[in-house]
Amino acid sequence: MIVNPTPPNVSPSMEVSACFIEYGTQFLLLLRQDHKPQGNTWGMPAGKHKPEELSVNGVVSIDAVVREVEEETGIILHPGTMDFFRSVNVRYPTFDFVYHMFSERFDGRPGVRIDLDDSKESRWVTPEQSLLLPLIPDEDACIKMFYRL
């Protein structure tokens, strides 16, 4: 569950960054491998921050999202053209985390080379199509926020 503003009892155990990789009217989703947490669900390329990539004084590091997107898709993000959208606090039954959302729009459709250890499929979808898929918990709320649905 997304909890904003942050209630006093939220204690994030990690930071995660994700990216809306856009081309035309579509964006990229990945289908997580069955053995991964939230397996067999769709989500944006995303991942946990390493200690050296954590936010400092409210400034969100872009290093984690650049690294994770390249590892998961082979797509190189360009920090100068990426946009930071917003951060939200997410509460799962056993832990809380901060979810940072970025976006980058491409003029040409980037090739995708998925990491088969993490994902089993990639798909370009419209925001409306994405909401019909089995998404990672709370990804639907993030998509609705970003695309104002």
Backbone angles phi, psi at 80, to 5 degrees: -70, -20
Per-residue model confidence as pLDDT tens digits over 27-44 = 999 999 999 989 999 999
pLDDT bucket at 94, cuts 50 / 70 / 90: confident
Q: Are 82 and 102 in contact (CB under 8 A)?
A: yes
**Non-local CB neighbours of 116 within 8 Å, separated by 6+ positions:** 33
Is the pLDDT at 107 greater than 70? The verdict is yes
pLDDT tens per residue, range 1-32: 777 766 677 667 788 999 999 999 999 999 99
Residue 116's CB is within 10 A of a number of other CB atoms, namely: 9
Residue-number span of the structural domain to which 122 is assigned: 12-147
CATH number at residue 20: 3.90.79.10
Give 103's Cβ-side CA count (13 Å radius).
13
% residues pLDDT > 70 (the chain): 95
- Tell me, what's the pLDDT at 81? 93
pTM comes to: 0.91
- 5 inside domain: no
Tokens of residue 54, six digits: 């954590």
Q: Are 16 and 99 in contact (CB under 8 A)?
A: yes
89 occurs within a structural domain: yes
CA distance 90 to 109: 31
Is there a domain that residue 108 lies in?
yes
- What's the longest Cα–Cα distance across the chain? 44
How many domains does the chain fold into?
1
Q: What are 69's two structure tokens?
A: 């997107």
